[in-house]
Amino acid sequence: MPARANKLARKRKSPMRVPTVAIALVQERLNSIYGPIEWRPRMVALDELIFTVLTQHTSDLNAERAYDSLRRVMPTWGEVIEADTEKVADAIRQGGLANQKSIRIQQILVEILKRLGHFELEFLADLELEEARAWLKSLPGVGPKTAAVVMAFSLKMPAFPVDTHIHRVSMRLGLIGKKITADQAHPIMEELIPEAHRYDMHVLLITHGRQICKARIPQCARCPLGRECPASTID
Ligand code: SF4
Q: Which of 13, 101, 114, 145 is catalytic?
A: 145
Name the closest-CA residue to atom 8, ligand 1: 213
Q: Which residues line ligand 1 (CB under 6 A)?
A: 169, 172-173, 212-213, 218-220, 223, 225-226, 229, 231-232
CATH number of 1-39+158-235: 1.10.1670.10
Ligand 1 atom index nearest CA of 223: 6
Q: What is the pLDDT of residue 19?
A: 57
Instruction: Answer yes or no: is pLDDT of 233 > 50.
Output: yes
**91, HSE (Cβ side, Cα atoms, 13 Å):** 23
d(CA 7, CA 126): 56
Annotated domain spans of the chain:
1-39+158-235, 45-154
Report the percent of the chain where pLDDT is more than 70: 92
Which CATH homologous superfamily contains domain 45-154? Hypothetical protein; domain 2 (1.10.340.30)
- Residue 13 — very low, low, confident or very high, per pLDDT cuts 50/70/90? very low
**HEC readout, 123-192:** HHHHCCHHHHHHHHHCCCCCCHHHHHHHHHHHCCCCCCCCCHHHHHHHHHCCCCCCCCCHHHHHHHHHHH
Which residues have CB under 8 Å from 45's CB, separation 6+? 120, 121, 122, 124, 150, 154, 155
The stretch 112-132 carries a mean pLDDT of 98
Active site (annotated) includes residue 145: yes
Structure confidence by residue, pLDDT tens digits, 151-197: 999 999 999 999 999 999 999 999 999 999 999 999 999 999 999 99
- Residue 235 — very low, low, confident or very high, per pLDDT cuts 50/70/90? confident
Distance 139 CA to ligand 1 centre (A): 36
The stretch 11-26 carries a mean pLDDT of 63
d(CA 73, CA 44): 19
Q: What is the pLDDT of residue 40?
A: 87
Q: What is the DSSP letter of 233?
A: -
Lowest mean pLDDT among 55-59, 106-110, 155-159, 197-201: 55-59
The stretch 13-25 carries a mean pLDDT of 64
Cβ-contact 57, 96 below 8 angstroms: yes
Average pLDDT score, the chain: 92
Ligand 1 atom index nearest CA of 233: 2
Structure confidence by residue, pLDDT tens digits, 125-138: 999 999 999 999 99
d(CA 173, CA 23): 9
Report, in this order, helix, strand and coil percent for the chain, each rounded to 5. 65, 0, 35
Distance 213 CA to ligand 1 centre (A): 5
Task: Tell me the best of 232, 234, 235 to mutate to test the pocket of ligand 1, counting ligand atoms within 8 Å of each CB and taking the most.
Answer: 232
The dihedral built from the CA positions of residue 207, 210, 216 and 220, taken in this order, carries a sign that is: negative
The stretch 1-10 carries a mean pLDDT of 42
Which residues have CB under 8 Å from 208's CB, separation 6+? 30, 34, 165, 169, 223
Ligand 1 atom index nearest CA of 222: 7
Q: What is the pLDDT of residue 10?
A: 40
- Residue whose C-alpha is closest to residue 55's, from 136, 168, 146: 146
Cβ-contact 38, 203 below 8 angstroms: no
Instruction: Look up residue 84 and give its amino acid.
Output: D
Distance 187 CA to ligand 1 centre (A): 23
Helix axes 164-172, 182-192, angle to 10 degrees: 60
* pTM as predicted: 0.88
Cis peptide before 2 (omega within 30 of 0): no
Cβ-contact 201, 22 below 8 angstroms: no
